[in-house]
Structure 1
Amino acid sequence: MVRIEDIDPPREVPGASQQILRTLEAYGLHWDGSVLYQSSRLDAYEAQLQQLLSHNKAYYCQCTRKQIQAMGAAYDGRCARRTPRHRQGAIRICNTHPVTQFYDQLLGDIHIDADFASEDFIIKRRDGLMAYQLAVVMDDALQGVTEVVRGSDLLTSSARQSTLYTLLDHPTPHWLHLPLACAEPGRKLSKQNHAPAIDTRAPQASINAALAFLGQAQCDVDDVDKMLTQAVSQFDISRIPKQTEILLPSNQSEQT
């Protein structure tokens, strides 16, 4: 299945969604069913928010970033204790199920800072935009997602999403966090850091480069669909590097 997470209009690039779909097709990554656009789910997110508010499982917060920094960078829940509570601002979850540890199928036991894990985090922003955490959990539940494989920069997000799965009474998926490809420590290859897009005209080289990055054997066929079939058949999870970042040579990071 494919989901386009387009709930942050100020950061969206015109035509990016279609480019993502064309890239997937060029790499032989064909999907089942219709593409789910998160922008079509805003009413569902809002209904869930109102339910949480009405059951005192979420509350409005007017604290600024400067105020939160003065608290020690971790929000102290003060708006939940106000009487009467605010009726505008950002919306925070009442974090009654903090997750300080979870199991990753590659990295093993992951430990999360207790102050971070127990924070009442934002599920709707002050500017009215839906927060990623709530939207992705609701959509995972809707689509029956059982396995989540993604970059290690989202380890802390997985802890918060585990909290939401429990709060919303949805089963928590299994997690696996892959190492990030970085040009330098802490600087992953991404559009945010102006890394060039992958080549859709000759995907074979990129597929083999990705397999090598993940410690996997190369494919010896040239047809994209046959490459993916071979890659799946010989994939060995134990060969994936057990680290959060892998630094690429400068020439490779420029070409990837």
Structure 2
Amino acid sequence: MTIKSFSDIESLGILEQKDVVLNQFHQHVSFESRRYIVSLSWRDHCLSLPTNYDLSLPRLKGLLKQLRRSPDLLKKYDSIIHQQLHEGIVVPVSDSEEPSSKLHYLPHHTIVRYYKTTTKLRIIDNTSIAKEDQDVLKFLWIKDLINEKTELIECKFTCVVFGITPCTYLLNATIAEHLKCHAHTHCHVTEKKKQSIYVDDIVTGVNSTEEALEFYKKSKDMFKLGGFNVRKFLRIAMKFRV
């Protein structure tokens, strides 16, 4: 028995599990309205989730108590949720909706990152999520910031939420799917991306400033086709500015 064959036997269960998850992804992934739609990856023994409502409600009360000490931060937090509602990232839950067999509420909190040049305030909770999975991505918020006894509102995410367990996998699988779909038209870019991508970062290099600029433009164009925004390019050559 060779070392390779022994290694294959040792990892047999892991490889089979990966194949199942990957097959599940390929069965449900689709591309509509200039963005990918995926389903959450479910383990067989986790199909029945607790609603988590009894945890989410006191967490919300604690969050509001914290945010009300900084009114500007509270307004900013609320404006982000309303912006997500406007953009369709989040949708309100209607009383007329049919009850789902899978229901789960996500506690949420804020992280303020003053050093960031992009998003200084982030809500921890942009691929779309299949409708049948959206009911496990619900969260609680309030209708009126001023009134401490205000009515609660329920919302749910229509996109994959940063921080949930399958988030990184779904991102990687979706990017791999996108690279495969455009390999025939952007072969040089897709091959380079496949060899140098880590989660949502790419570390690679080219031989000249001209090649770097061309690679940057082609990467932007290719990922834009899938609804992705490639940004934060760093360069060593001082002549290359984007």
TM-score (structure 1 length as normaliser): 0.25
Q: Which has the larger radius of gyration?
A: 2
